A and B are shown apart, each in its own frame.
Chain A
Amino acid sequence: MTELALSRGSLDRDRLLRLLQDYGVYAGVLVLLLFNFAFTPHFVSTENFRTQAVQVAPVLIVALGMALAIGTEGVDLSVGSVMALATSLLSLYLGYGPWIAALTAVIGGIVVGVANGALIAFVGVQPIVATLALMVAGRGLALVLLPQLKDVRDPGLASLGSGDVLGVPYLVLIAAVLAVLVAFVMRRTTFGRQVLAIGDSRPAARLAGLPVRRVLIVVYVCSGALAAIAGVLATARLTASDPTSLGNLMELSAITAVVVGGTPLTGGRVRIGGTVAGAVLIQLLTTTLIKHDLPPSWTQIAQAVVIVLAVYAARERGRR
């Protein structure tokens, strides 16, 4: 009898932790929203929500690719540099028109992704080391291509950065479409299953006959391409190519969004909805602190607290 009660007690605790990990990030977003509704002047306005959505879009897009990489028990540190590379390429090829330039930028991201994937899948380098190498190389290359900030005057790109359809900014629309696409791929396609299988156990996936190398390369190519898209969008918003500062520490923001969203760093599980909420949570946190004019160092501390809470929830689950 007592044994039964005890096991039920720990079951409840397990379930609570599971719930916390699965829905904690949504609860966090809700709490921050309610706080702002109550205490932040002029928070409830379309204009404000529009601004928040536009600001979160690039981070979110990068985080989607990062979620895939983390799902395979890897990580992609090169995303920030890919954004810088994309902005350099964009600026250099803008003479051919915005579409060709954007395409070139995305191809640049894909090339970095191929290099990352090849190092990881064929050479067998640890993801953190391989992408670290590309992170350094990518930023360097971006600065060689475009040594300093350059204004972008192309009207097409400018409208991409600030225009909208039926009140929804293009940036938000693109981010939403990409999020739905990645979520669909992860849930409904063989490729999504393969990513998770590799993340769970790479040797087992190989023994089961899965195309491990191909999947890994495709994952890092996706991550690179998504980061490049984010770079293009961020450039369009800024109407300037700034390879020195664009994408700085972006890899950390993206990893934070993914981890806070409930995707474990140990791979085998990817939560796209949680990743979106994680990115929104960090954005709301930053905004709240700015709007209440708290010192910027507080933002960093607040972010750290959120990360620690998220990791704590994940740790309990891992020990189950």
Chain B
Amino acid sequence: MKPIAVVRRTSARHLLAAGLVASLALATGCTKSEDDSDKKPSASKQDDAGQVVASPAAGSGPTCTIDAYGAKKLDLKGATVGFSQSEKEANPFRIAETASIKAEAKKRGIKLLTANAQSQFSKQISDVQDLIAKGANLLVIAPLNSDGWEPVLRTAAAKHIPIVTIDRKINATACKDYVSFIGSDFIEQGKRAADQMIEATGGKGKIAILLGAAGNNVTTERTKGFEDRIKEKAPGLKIVSRQTGEFAREKGQSVTENLIQSNPGITGIYAENDEMGLGAVNALKGAGKKPGDVKIVTVDGTRNAVQQIVDGWISGVIESNPRFGPLAFQTLDTFTKGDKVSQDIVIKDSAYSKSNAQSDIGKAF
């Protein structure tokens, strides 16, 4: 009796294991998604969307030279560049950022090592140390956090490795701990979003803000810029609600659903990223509103959001350009040749509105 039971149990286990493996194979084997036939947006259309420096005069702000930094001159052509990405490439911004760095390295024929910290700061620290150990002569870092970089900076300083940080800053001394920061001015983005909002609503009415994730400098700065500009330019616009949508579409949708019911008079919504803005669009559609009933202004510049401008649901999108590749490598090139580079390189973000959404949608990422 017993051996049979044992046999039966093991066969049940085998069956189970086989079933799991088979279903996994099935899951990956014969998928057929909705729009397999759709063409991917061609890369060539996006080439004209590289970053432009907002303050091009190299002498305008504090600058840095290779002698001041204490590194040795080298030829970028033969160098190895390490790139540490902060979040996994699951959102359009990160995808476009990594792709841009890789494309530029390939174009210039530079050996590129990459790592992705998957949103874990401790992993990013060890990633960068790994990159250094693997022989990176130069580093491009997209930091997850601003603080806690001392161990990496010490290692890099010991080997005189120049560091350029992109999209977020690190709290350290420029030209000593790192060479320069390339990124957008998030306060400025908030201000420009406020300008778009004032234009769309005529400067009067009640508006709501969908905040980003809490405890994030992007959220605080985009909020500050927006509120300051509204206060200064359009006192008629009243901000009646500030709720977090945590940068996610679903949260943006459910919060907006609640907002438009308790405040039926809302005339505008400022979403601090495109995803929440798209969630708000969903909520408005669900509530039976017409395009343009509630003006939405968002920040990022993803293809989906720009498409919604064309469709009339979103009034304006302020771009936060993720294509750091050309500018990052140009900075490294200038720096390693011995010329001076700016410590803070603020990039010029463009904007999409009704007038250019149709023609410029190819530039969206």
Residue with the highest number of chain B CB atoms closer than 10 Å, among A45, A108, A240: A240
29 A–B contacts from the bound complex (CB under 8 Å): A40-B262, A41-B262, A42-B262, A42-B264, A47-B261, A55-B257, A108-B27, A114-B20, A145-B28, A148-B89, A148-B92, A148-B95, A154-B34, A162-B285, A237-B253, A238-B250, A239-B282, A242-B249, A243-B90, A245-B250, A246-B250, A290-B255, A290-B259, A291-B258, A291-B259, A293-B240, A293-B241, A293-B243, A296-B244
**Contact digits for A228-260, partner B, Cβ 8 Å, 1 yes 0 no:** 000000100111101111101000000000000
Starting from the known contacts A245-B246, A291-B262, 18 additional A-B residue pairs (CB-CB under 8 Å) come to A48-B261, A55-B254, A93-B32, A95-B32, A108-B27, A122-B16, A145-B27, A145-B28, A148-B95, A149-B249, A162-B286, A234-B250, A239-B282, A240-B249, A244-B88, A290-B255, A290-B259, A290-B262
Q: Which residue of A lies closest to B30 (CB)?
A: A93
Whether A290 pairs with B243 at a CB distance below 8 angstroms is yes
CB distance from A319 to the nearest CB of B (A): 38
The chain A residues found within 8 Å of chain B, CB to CB, are: 40-43, 45, 47-48, 51, 55, 89, 91-96, 104, 107-108, 111, 114-115, 118, 122, 143, 145, 147-154, 162, 234, 237-240, 242-246, 248, 287, 290-291, 293, 296-297
A94, B34: Cβ atoms closer than 8 Å = yes
A139 to chain B, nearest CB (A): 11
Contact A91 B90 (CB under 8 A): no
In the complex, what's the smallest C-beta–C-beta distance from B54 to chain A, in angstroms?
A: 29
Give every chain B residue within 8 A of A118 (Cβ-Cβ).
Answer: 13, 16
- Inter-chain contacts of A151 with B (CB < 8 A): 304
Main secondary structure of the interface of B (DSSP, over half): helix
CB proximity of B145 to chain A, nearest CB, Å: 19
Knowing A48-B261, A149-B91, A290-B255, say if A242 contacts B248 (CB, 8 Å). Answer: yes
Q: Which of B89, B95, B262, B287 contacts A43 (CB 8 A)?
A: B262
Separation in Å of the B185 CB from the closest CB of chain A?
26
Residues of B with C-beta under 8 A to A248: 248
User: Which B residues from 211 to 247 make CB contacts under 8 A with A?
Assistant: 211, 214, 240-244, 246
Chain A residues whose C-beta falls within 8 Å of the C-beta of B304 in the assembled complex: 151
B23 interface residue per 8 A CB criterion: yes
A287 to B259 CA separation, bound complex (whole angstroms)? 9
Q: Is the CB of A111 within 8 A of B248?
A: no
A149 touches which of B33, B275, B285 (Cβ 8 Å): B275
Q: What residues make up the interface of B, taking CB atoms closer than 8 Å to A? A: 9, 12-13, 16, 19-20, 23-24, 27-28, 31-36, 88-92, 95, 211, 214, 240-244, 246, 248-251, 253-255, 257-259, 261-264, 275, 278-279, 282, 285-287, 304
- A242 to B252 Cα, complex, angstroms: 13
Report B170 CB to chain A, min CB distance, Å: 25
Verify B248–A114 contact, CB threshold 8 A.
no
> How many angstroms from the CA of A234 to the CA of B35 in the assembled complex?
20
Chain B contacts of A55 at CB under 8 A? 254, 257
When distances are taken between beta carbons in the complex, the residues of chain B under 8 Å from A246 are: 250
Query: Min CB distance, A87 to chain B, in Å?
Result: 10
Which residue from A91, A234, A287 sits with its C-beta under 8 Å from B33? A91
Inter-chain contact A51/B258, CB cutoff 8 Å: yes
Interchain CB contact under 8 A, A51 and B250: no
CA distance A162 to B285 in the complex (A): 10
User: Complex formed: what's the CA distance from A287 to B285 in Å?
Assistant: 20
In Å, the complex CA distance between A108 and B28 comes to 12
B25 to chain A, nearest CB (A): 12
Smallest CB–CB gap between A131 and chain B, Å?
15
Are A244 and B257 in contact (CB-based, < 8 A)? Answer: no
In the bound complex, residues from chain A placing their C-beta under 8 Å from that of B23 are: 107-108, 111
Among A51, A115, A145, the most chain B Cβ lie within 10 Å of the Cβ of A51
Which of B34, B95, B258, B279 is the one whose CB lies under 8 Å from A91?
Answer: B34
